[in-house]
Amino acid sequence: MELSGLLSYAIYFGTMISIYGLLTLALNVQWGYTGTLNIGVAAFFAVGAYSSAIITGPQAGGYLGGFGLPLFAGFLVAALVCAILALGVGLLTLNLRTDYLAIATIGIAEIIRLVLKNEAWLTNGVRGMGDIPRPFKGWAEGADDLLFFIFAAALLLATYLFCEKIYNSPWGRTQRAIRENETAARAMGKDVLSFRLQAFVIGSAIMGLSGALYAHFTGFISPEAFDPLFATFLVWVMLIAGGSGNNRGAVLGAAVIWAIWSGSEIIISRLPETMITQAGSFRLLLVGILLEVILLTRPEGILPERLDMGGK
């Protein structure tokens, strides 16, 4: 009992790390590679989750669904919808200075949050969407969680390998050149906007995959799960803690911060009764302080980027 409890917790833990690891890798492609500041991670995460849920879900009263397409199609559509959204947003805003871009992305996130809440015909509004197909159900008695974890981890690994490959390609070098000195990159004849756009779209598509994975893992999604501040913020802390620019750092950051995040739940559950209702706030406070401490003491993260080019 004890052991199996521990095991199932480990499986849950691993799956969550895979989901967040995907988000962190995606943000790394945008921020770490190119220096594109996306404060709307939660929006792409949510769009991915909802897209896949709608595509693969059963017919339910009152909102879009009933396509019943296979899981594979759900993931594909999730990535695609996010990519298209990113393309639109990017064409509109990527020419802006980084800080303006950040402001624009919270705007996008805000609008998507409003759509999720208000367009009940599409998303069932605040009541959320249930009955999202859970893959591997009934494949092996009592092991479907494990199978799901293996699937999630494989997706993470594949994404990691993909991200590493593009990082080390000439494309990745150009991205870093843009990040380090946009003017110089432009002078060298690089189409800065196009390169930025590509990284933004790729990153957003990966965020969509992560959203789909999350939807199929929990089986139920509602706007609350995609609180912009919370979902976006945690991913940022993960990336900065792990080391932006470094894919291994990104995944490591996701694991470490998720461990701290869930560890804090255990500590806080021991707090006196009266403070339990505030447990979430204490955890938020903890992660906020953690971010500041990292920024002040080790801004390059646990695993800093190994720069293959001189200077900053």
Partner 1 sequence: MTLLHIDNITGGYGSVHILYDLEMKVGQQEIVVIAGPNGAGKSTAMKSVFGMLTIERGTVNFGGQDITTHRTEHIAGLGIAYVPQVNNVFQSLTVEENLEMGAYLRKDDFSGSLSQVFALFPDLKKKRAQLAGTLSGGQRQMVAMGRALMSGPQLLLLDEPTAGLSPKYMTQIFSIIRDINSEGTTIMMVEQHAKQALKLADNGYILVAGRNRHEGPGKELIEDPEVQKMFLGG
Partner 2 sequence: MLLEVLQLVIYGLVLGSVIALGAIGVSLTFGILGFANFSHGDLMTFGAYCAFLFYSQLALPFWLAFPLALLATALLAIVFDQLIYRRLRSKDSVILLISSFGIALILRALIQIIWGPDNQVYASGIQMPYRFFDGSLRLKPDQLIILATTIVLMVALHLFLQKSKTGKAMRATADNPELARLTGINTEQVIIWTWVLGGSLAAAAGIFLGLDTRLHSGMGWFLLLPIFAAAILGGIGHPYGAIVGGLIIGVVQEVSTLFIEPNYKPAIAFSVMVAMLIFKPTGLFGQKKT
**Interface ranges with partner 2 (CB under 8 A):** 35, 37, 39, 92-93, 95-100, 102-104, 106-108, 110-111, 114, 117-118, 229, 233, 236-237, 240, 277-278, 280-282, 284-285, 287-289, 291-292, 295-296, 299
CB atoms near residue 131 (< 10 Å): 13
**Calpha distance 227→159 (Å, rounded):** 25
Within 13 Å of residue 294, how many CA atoms lie on the same side as its CB? 23
Which of partner 2, partner 1, none binds 311 (CB below 5-8 Å, type-dependent)?
A: partner 1
270 makes contact with partner 1 (CB under 8 A) = no
Nearest to 31 by CA among 172, 224, 199, 144: 199
311 makes contact with partner 1 (CB under 8 A) = yes
Under rule CB under 8 A, how many of the chain's residues touch partner 1? Answer: 3
CB atoms near residue 232 (< 10 Å): 24
Which of partner 2, partner 1, none binds 104 (CB below 5-8 Å, type-dependent)?
A: partner 2
Q: Which is nearer to partner 2, 2 or 292 (CB)?
A: 292
Q: What are phi and psi of 129, to 5 degrees?
A: -110, 130
Nearest to 41 by CA among 33, 31, 55, 51: 31
Which of partner 1, partner 2, none binds 60 (CB below 5-8 Å, type-dependent)?
A: none
DSSP letters for 165-210: HHHHSHHHHHHHHHHH-HHHHHHTT--HHHHHHHHHHHHHHHHHHH
Q: Which is nearer to partner 1, 135 or 304 (CB)?
A: 304
What is the end-to-end Cα distance of the chain in Å, rounded? 54
CB atoms near residue 12 (< 10 Å): 15
Q: Which is nearer to partner 2, 188 or 289 (CB)?
A: 289
Query: Are 34 and 175 in contact, with CB atoms under 8 Å apart?
Result: yes
Q: Which is nearer to partner 2, 126 or 259 (CB)?
A: 126
Which of partner 1, partner 2, none binds 299 (CB below 5-8 Å, type-dependent)?
A: partner 2
DSSP code of residue 95:
T
Query: Are 274 and 219 in contact, with CB atoms under 8 Å apart?
Result: no
312 makes contact with partner 1 (CB under 8 A) = yes
Which of partner 2, partner 1, none binds 91 (CB below 5-8 Å, type-dependent)?
A: none
Q: Which is nearer to partner 1, 219 or 304 (CB)?
A: 304
Give the nearest distance from C-beta 129 to partner 2 in angstroms: 19
Residue 1 Cα to chain centre, angstroms: 33
97 makes contact with partner 1 (CB under 8 A) = no
In single-letter form, the type of residue at position 183 comes to: T
In single-letter form, the type of residue at position 15 comes to: T
Give the nearest distance from C-beta 312 to partner 1 in angstroms: 6
Which of partner 1, partner 2, none binds 63 (CB below 5-8 Å, type-dependent)?
A: none
Which of partner 1, partner 2, none binds 295 (CB below 5-8 Å, type-dependent)?
A: partner 2
Letters for 271-310 (x = contact with partner 1 by CB under 8 A, - = none) are ---------------------------------------x
By CB under 8 A, name the binding residues for partner 1. 310-312
